[in-house]
């Protein structure tokens, strides 16, 4: 049995009233097979491992999980609250902390339903999420430079290598449909419907895929990519890796991040450009071009709350800067100098 090291936590005795009704190995195996998105499941498993590193000074194992689940409710809550405070003190993003808490709650809920614990973490609250701040992203001209970097020519043209053709399709999906990298990575061959110019995607927090419309250029780019696809068959991932060590496997979200950042650097863009910043860029560019059509922007972005789009709109028009300028002008006296 592993001991919780001081000063993080004080080891608490296992209540004699708690008996596991099945092997803890079964629970850990079942947790790794949760019927949720692959990316979320991997995050959850990683989060439980991180929690065990904090609480038990070691990786997640059936033994450490069994020990945690055998605590009484209040002892378990104390441990998780200390872990929550530890994460806050490390200045982790609220979204990261909330994923970790959700993973622990999910594990406990599963164990309780299977009669393996009496722990209940429902009283532990998530961290309030921060609202979007800088949503402007990069300009249209900067995005064009990134496309030119794919082609390898400052005058533009069509990409001619399998990697270039694949990456061109990825970039157009970001721009033309404001997709998230997980939505791109999770798509399969059969999700692309070229004759209808549609793509079925699994949206954030969704359990079922929905079809979105593609423009001519995006649909054509995907068709071109399928000509070079390592295994163009139903059930295979739409976008794959082309590296030697995992050729033909589903492309990872981290790989998509590196692809985007690599072309941004090649285009000479100094700011860090992530897949999500490209999504911001796409939404903001549409609002600029449409004169602030929030209804259409909501359809493009698939945000459930239109207030999020209002923030995009405010940021692109720099409403706060305008307001600050008006207030400053009230202080300006003769000669353009402030009085005081």
Catalytic residues: 180, 206, 276, 279, 303, 312
- Angle, helices 294-301/275-290, rounded to nearest 10 degrees: 160
Q: Residue written as tokens 């079925």?
A: 200
Question: Per the structure block, which two tokens stand in for 79?
Answer: 């441990």
Element (H, E) at 192: strand 192-193
User: Does residue 70 sit in helix, strand or coil?
Assistant: coil
Exposed e or buried b per residue across 91-110, where buried means at least 16 C-beta atoms within 10 angstroms of its C-beta:
eeeeeebbbbbebbbbbbee
Question: Per the structure block, which two tokens stand in for 108?
Answer: 């406990």
The Cα diameter of the chain in Å comes to 83
Is the separation of the CB atoms in 185 and 251 below 8 Å? yes
Q: How many CA atoms lie within 13 A of 141 on its CB side?
A: 1
Element (H, E) at 60: none
User: Does residue 149 sit in helix, strand or coil?
Assistant: helix
List, in sequence order, every residue forming a beta bridge with 200; answer none if it has no partner: 211
């Amino acid at each position: 049995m592993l001991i919780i090291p001081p000063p993080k936590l004080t080891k608490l005795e296992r209540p004699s009233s708690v008996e596991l009704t099945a092997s803890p190995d079964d629970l850990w195996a079942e947790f790794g097979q949760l019927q949720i998105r692959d990316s979320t499941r991997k995050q959850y498993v990683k989060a439980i491992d991180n929690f065990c590193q904090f609480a038990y000074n070691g990786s997640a194992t059936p033994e450490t999980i069994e020990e945690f689940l055998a605590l009484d409710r209040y002892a378990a809550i104390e441990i998780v609250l200390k872990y929550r405070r530890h994460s806050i003190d490390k200045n982790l993003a609220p979204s990261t902390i909330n994923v970790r808490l959700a993973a622990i709650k999910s594990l406990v809920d599963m164990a309780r339903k299977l009669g393996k614990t009496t722990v209940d973490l429902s009283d532990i609250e998530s961290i309030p999420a921060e609202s979007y701040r800088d949503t402007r992203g990069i300009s249209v001209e900067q995005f064009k430079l990134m496309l030119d970097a794919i082609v390898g020519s400052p005058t533009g043209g069509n990409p001619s290598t399998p990697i270039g053709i694949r990456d061109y399709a990825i970039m157009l999906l970001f721009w033309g449909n404001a997709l998230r990298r997980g939505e791109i990575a999770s798509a399969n061959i059969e999700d692309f419907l070229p004759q209808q110019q549609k793509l079925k995607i699994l949206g954030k927090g969704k359990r079922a895929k929905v079809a979105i419309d593609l423009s001519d250029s995006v649909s054509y780019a995907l068709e071109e990519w399928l000509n070079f696809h390592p295994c163009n068959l139903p059930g295979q991932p739409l976008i794959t890796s082309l590296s030697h060590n995992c050729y033909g496997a589903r492309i990872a979200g981290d790989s998509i991040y590196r692809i985007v950042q690599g072309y941004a650097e090649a285009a000479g863009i100094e700011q860090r450009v992530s897949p999500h910043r490209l999504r911001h860029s796409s939404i903001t560019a549409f609002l600029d071009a449409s004169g602030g059509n929030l209804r259409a922007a909501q359809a493009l972005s698939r945000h459930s709350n239109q207030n999020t789009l209002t923030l995009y709109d405010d940021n692109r028009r720099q409403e706060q800067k305008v307001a600050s300028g008006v207030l400053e002008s009230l202080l300006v006296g003769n000669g353009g100098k402030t009085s005081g």
